[in-house]
Amino acid sequence: MSTIEELARRVKDSSIRLAAVGTEAKNKALARIASSLIERKKEIIQANEEDLRRSKLENLPMPLLERLSFGAEAIADAADGINDLIKLEDPAGKTLLATELDDGLELYKVTCPIGVIGVIFESRPDALVQIATLCLKSGNGVLLKGGSEAMETNRILAEIIREAATKSGMPEHWAALLETRSDVNDMLKMDDYIDLIIPRGSNDFVRYIMDNSRIAVLGHADGICHCYVDENADLDMAVDIVTDSKTQYVAVCNAAETLLVHEKIAPRFLPELRKQLEKKNVEMLGCPRTRELISIDPATDDDWKTEYLDYKLSIKVVADLDEAIDHINRFGSGHTDSIITADKQVAVRFMDYVDSGNVFWNCSTRFSDGFRFGFGAEVGISTGKIHARGPVGLEGLVIYKYKLLGNGHIVEDYASHSKTFKHRKL
């Protein structure tokens, strides 16, 4: 039985070899993983039923049981996802820059896999399949750590994925599952082996990961998204966008949680909005000025920093654009914020000054999503400001290296001025 560190070291060693594997070979391995999942679905379902049975006995709450369930349909979806992933462009091996530094001395900046990705996820077994295959597509090794409730499902999924990939010629240890006995905290300390952590789970879970590791984390804890209805907004458009942002799907990070309304439009807008939101059973909480216009319960300062993930909206009337911007930058989570206005100058100022990964004009916050953005895959949504931000596609799993090709070139020739650099773009 290997120790966790040995496991991690083997994944790191394999990741070096995986990084050099070509696109076609990686895609073949992905195809084999997809077909293996289908072929071996009975084993998966059996393992999942065991997890479900045990978890029920342990009184796992219903929503968690639902997330844990991984039946025939979910397996087919996972395989479809892999087949879509195969069609996407390989993010590694792209030349970002090519410069002739001097005659015969050529510099290339080429994308390459990051190395080893640590993935930590709660219940959902589909997260394991999705992230492991995203890592393979981009050439990264992956250390997977799932929740104990999905132990059997994760084990069989990891086995199927590894076996299919290995039979297709991938380095044997490119992926490894950390068994549930091991602690998440062990993984958070492995900065010698893990280059990036991707957490998938509840806000509290993600925040814990972010607060307890020196390894870079790609993700988001809260999604406190705002709509700001400017004085020059089209009323109907504003009602539609706020309603969609709040209610189209309440349980997700890009749903709006707070509405800001310019004081000049508030008396006309808020009663209209209320009609619409009441139809959807949205509970509204307002600042004192809001409550002068529509009779709803009061919002406290805590509401401005709360992600309801529910049919609930906090509302604040603001004096002007700058107050809206300040509120968003103070209470927001840097996720997605949208302005509704007919005034272009105001919209541009909003998008320049709001310090969020996604700044929208006249459209729903719900659009911030890798698939809607056309990325074909989504590694996660990042509220960080380093490496990757907003919805992150496969490009978030690569970095680059500089390759310099010479013919005996030495620096002394340039230091002594017997040669000079040309820096010609290739």
Interface residue with its own copies, options 4, 37, 82, 105 (CB under 8 A)? 105
* Minimum distance of its own copies from residue 289's CB (angstroms): 24
Q: How far is residue 59 from each of residues 47, 56, 96, 202, 205, measured CA to CA in Å?
A: 18, 5, 52, 19, 20
Please give the Cα distance from 52 to 22 (Å, whole number).
39
Please give the Cα distance from 359 to 336 (Å, whole number).
6
Site for its own copies in 125-184 (CB under 8 A): none
Is the CB of 241 or the CB of 277 nearer to its own copies? 241
* 3 state SS of 176: strand
Asked whether the beta carbons of 188 and 213 are under 8 A apart, the reply is: yes
For 264-330, the three-class secondary structure string (H helix, E strand, C coil) is CCHHHHHHHHHHHHHHCCCEEEECHHHHHHCCCEECCHHHHCCCCCCCEEEEEEECCHHHHHHHHHH
* Minimum distance of its own copies from residue 317's CB (angstroms): 22
Interface residue with its own copies, options 64, 81, 250, 353 (CB under 8 A)? 353
Is the CB of 154 or the CB of 213 nearer to its own copies? 213
Give the single-character DSSP code of 158: H
* Minimum distance of its own copies from residue 299's CB (angstroms): 24
* 3 state SS of 423: coil
311 touches its own copies by CB under 8 A: no
* Structure tokens, 192: 């010698």
Interface residue with its own copies, options 241, 259, 285, 377 (CB under 8 A)? 241
Interface residue with its own copies, options 87, 411, 417, 420 (CB under 8 A)? 411
| Residue that is written with structure tokens 């969020």 in the block | 356
357 touches its own copies by CB under 8 A: yes
| Amino acid found at 297 | D
DSSP, residue by residue, 198-244: EEES-HHHHHHHHHT-SS-B---S---EEEEE-TT--HHHHHHHHHH
Question: How many positions of this chain bind its own copies (CB under 8 A)?
Answer: 70
Interface residue with its own copies, options 2, 271, 385, 426 (CB under 8 A)? 385
410 touches its own copies by CB under 8 A: yes
Is the CB of 19 or the CB of 296 nearer to its own copies? 19
Map residues 177-216 to x or -, x wherever contact with its own copies holds by CB under 8 A. ------------------xx--------------x-xx-x
* Minimum distance of its own copies from residue 334's CB (angstroms): 9
406 touches its own copies by CB under 8 A: yes
Q: Which residues bind its own copies (CB under 8 A)?
A: 16-17, 19-20, 99, 101, 105, 107, 114-115, 195-196, 211, 213-214, 216, 234, 237, 240-241, 243-244, 248-249, 329, 347, 349, 351-353, 355-364, 366-368, 372-374, 385-387, 389-391, 399-412, 414-415, 421, 423
